[in-house]
Amino acid sequence: MPSDFPLRSKITVALAAALSLWGVGEYFRYEAEYQNQSHDPYAIAAQENRLAGVRTVIPENATLGYLTDATPNTMTAWAIFSGAQYSLAPRILVENTSQDWVLGNFTRPVDFAAIGRSYGLRVERDLSNGVILFRKEKAK
């Protein structure tokens, strides 16, 4: 049984539908712009490739120490630590150098061996791109 709605109701529904479609278009335009401007500023996705060598050397049940040149208690330090922890899971990272294996996660080229020596560590492997595996020096 068809019912005939008043013209005013039809115009209101058409206007609501048009505004809804316009809103969807604006949302997708805004989201596309946002993604172009704010795509992974801390390069978390790039950690998978940077740390691939660590995953092949260190067993999954290992706990590694962690050493970085990033300024402590900053967003950058937190982001690269969290990205490394995520990429290396189920391995555990602890933010100290007391473990037998220590991951060096550096943001710029420095004398990695000298930094390691200052913590009683030796460079076991330089995996490039600022990723260094240190080993705890054995007492002689």
Mean pLDDT, the chain, rounded, equals: 90
| pLDDT > 90 in the chain, percent | 69
Counted residue by residue, the chain has a size of 140
Task: Report yes or no: 67 and 115 within 8 Å, Cβ to Cβ.
Answer: yes
Q: Which amino acid is at 48?
A: E
For 90-121, write each residue's pLDDT tens digit.
999 999 999 999 999 998 999 999 999 999 99
Contact (Cβ atoms closer than 8 angstroms) between residue 112 and residue 106: yes
Strands (E) located in the chain: 63-68, 92-94, 101-105, 121-126, 131-136
pLDDT at 138: 78
| More confident: 38 or 128 | 128
What's the pLDDT score for residue 94?
96
Looking from the CA of 112 toward its CB, the CA atoms found within 13 Å total: 24
